[in-house]
Amino acid sequence: MSRVTRFAARDPGPAARVAGFMAHLRENGLRLGVSETELALAALCEVEAARPDASRRALKAVCTGCKDEVDRFDALFDSYWLDAGRVRQKIVQSPPDKGDDSVHSSRDARGEDTGGAGTSTAPEAGDGDAESDGEGRLIATEVRNLMRKDLRDLVRPEDVAEAEKVAQRLGAALRDRRSRRRIAAPKGDRLNFRKTIRASLATGGEPLRLVRKHRPDRPRKIVALCDVSGSMTVYAQVFLAFLAGLMRSDTTADAYLFHTRLVRITEALRDKDTMRAIGRMSLMADGFGGGSEIGPSIARFARTYAKRFVDGRSVVLILSDGYDTAPATVLDAALADLRKRGCKIIWLNPLKGWRDYAPVADGMAAALPHLDLFCAANTLADLAALDREVMTL
C-alpha cells in the first residue's frame, strides 16, 4: 500500500511542494505555466487537501488538458506524492517533444504510440505478389527488421531543402478549398451590411459604396503516411526528404511512418535542426526496412489519429508500393473508413512509373476504388510535377 510521502523537515512548506510537483509534471512533458501553479494552490484550498484522493482529483482538473494527460496523471501524481522512495523519479516517459541531439542508433528507440510488439521471424508464406525486374526481388516481407537504420545516412540536407520547395508547391496547389465563413471583400456574392452601413455614415446615410463579402480560400491540411518497409527502402531517401520538407514548409501538415506499426513523426520533424529532426525520426522508425502491413497500419490510423486530425479539409497522401502482407480486405475496409471522414486520398506509388506496371498486387487493387488520385512518384521531380494533377481534385 502506498503512503503519502513525508517531506524533509527543511522543506519550506506546502506551496513549495506544489511548485515542486508542477516542476515534476513539466519535466514529464505537461505544458504548465506559473498561472497553473497559482490555480492549483487555489484549487487545493477549495477541497480537503489533506485527503489524497480529493487533492488528486483537484490537481487533475487543473493540470491536465487532454485525455492522454489524464491517463498519465495518476502515475505522475503517485510518483511525487506517494511512496517516499520514488519522489521526483521520472516514471512516465516524456513525449519526444524535447529536442534530443545526442541520438545514437545503438540507443533504445522510443517510438510513440507503437502497438503490437509481436515479432515474426518466419519468411512469408509464399504469395509474394511482385515480379522482379532483374536485380533484387521486390516482395512484401513479414519479417520485422530488428536492425535499426540511421536515416541520417539516407537523407541529405540538400534534399530536404529541395523537398521543401516541392512541398510548398504541392501545398499551394492543394490550397483551394473554399471556406464556409464569409469575409469582407470588394467583390462577392453578398452584401456586408456592417461595413456598408459604416461607410454610409460618410455619405449622409446613403449607402453609396457597397461592401460585399465572399468566401475566401482556405489551405487544406496535408496528412502524409509513408511506407518504410523493406520493399520501399530504395525510395525512402526521396520520400523521407519530402516528408521533412513538407513539415518544414507547412505548419499544419501531419506525418506518419508505417511498416509493421504506425508511428507519428510530426513532432519529431518540427525540430528546427534538419539533421536532428531526421535523427529523431530514425529513432521512431524502429524496424525501418522490415515487413509491411499497410492495411492494419492504415486501419489503426483511421481508428485513432484520423479521428482527431483528418476532416473534410484534409488530403491524405499515402506513399507506398502497395505490397501488403495482410489480407487486402483489411486495407479495403480501412480506406473505406478513412474516406468517410470526407478527406481526399492520394496514393503515390513509386512502382507506377515502371513500364507495363499494372496494379495487380492484391492490396493495390483493393485500394484503387477508394483513391481520388493514383500517381507515380520515384523522384523529387516527379513529386514536383504532381501539382498540376492535384489542382483538379
Binding site residues, other proteins, CB under 8 A: 31, 33, 35-36, 39, 42-43, 46-48, 53-54, 57-58, 60-62, 64-67, 70, 179-181, 193-194, 197, 200-201, 204-205, 207, 307-309, 311
Give the nearest distance from C-beta 209 to other proteins in angstroms: 15
Nearer to other proteins, 250 or 286 (CB): 250
Nearer to other proteins (CB atom), residue 65 or residue 353: 65
Q: What spatial distance separates the first Cα and last Cα of the chain, rounded to whole Å?
A: 60
Residue 254 class from Cβ within 10 Å (0-12 exposed, 13-18 middle, 19+ buried)? Answer: buried
Distance CA 8, CA 171 (A): 57
| Residue among 88 and 98 whose Cβ is closer to other proteins | 98
Nearest-approach distance from CB 160 to other proteins, in angstroms: 26
In terms of CB distance, is 27 or 71 closer to other proteins? 71
Q: How far is the CB of 132 from other proteins (least distance, A)?
A: 38
Contact between 138 and 130 (Cβ < 8 Å)? yes
**Shortest CB 300 distance to other proteins, Å:** 13
For 27, the grid coordinates are 519535466
- CA separation for the pair 7, 13 (Å, rounded): 9
Minimum CB distance to other proteins smaller for 159 or for 250? 250
What is the CA angle 256-257-259, rounded to 5? 145
Rank residues 17 and 57 by Cβ distance to other proteins and give the closer one: 57
Instruction: Count the neighbouring beta carbons within 10 Å of the beta carbon of residue 358.
Output: 10
Number of neighbours of residue 81 by Cβ within 10 angstroms: 21
Closest CB 218 distance from other proteins, rounded Å: 9
Minimum Å gap between C-beta 198 and other proteins is 8
What span, in angstroms and rounded, lies between the C-alpha atoms of 170 and 350? 17
Q: Which of 371, 386, 365, 370 is nearest to 322 (CA)?
A: 365
Shortest reach from residue 270's CB to other proteins, in Å: 14
Q: How far apart are CA 94 and CA 27, in angstroms?
A: 8
Our CB check for other proteins shows the closer of 98 and 194 to be 194
Least separation in angstroms between residue 307's CB and other proteins is 7
Angstrom distance (rounded) from CA 101 to CA 272: 11
Q: Which is nearer to other proteins, 283 or 299 (CB)?
A: 299
For residue 280, which of 144, 95, 143, 118 has the smallest C-alpha distance?
Answer: 95
- The CA distance from 191 to 63, in Å, is 46
Helices 34-46 and 52-63: crossing angle in degrees, nearest 10, is: 150
Query: 66: number of CA atoms within 13 Å, CB side?
Result: 6
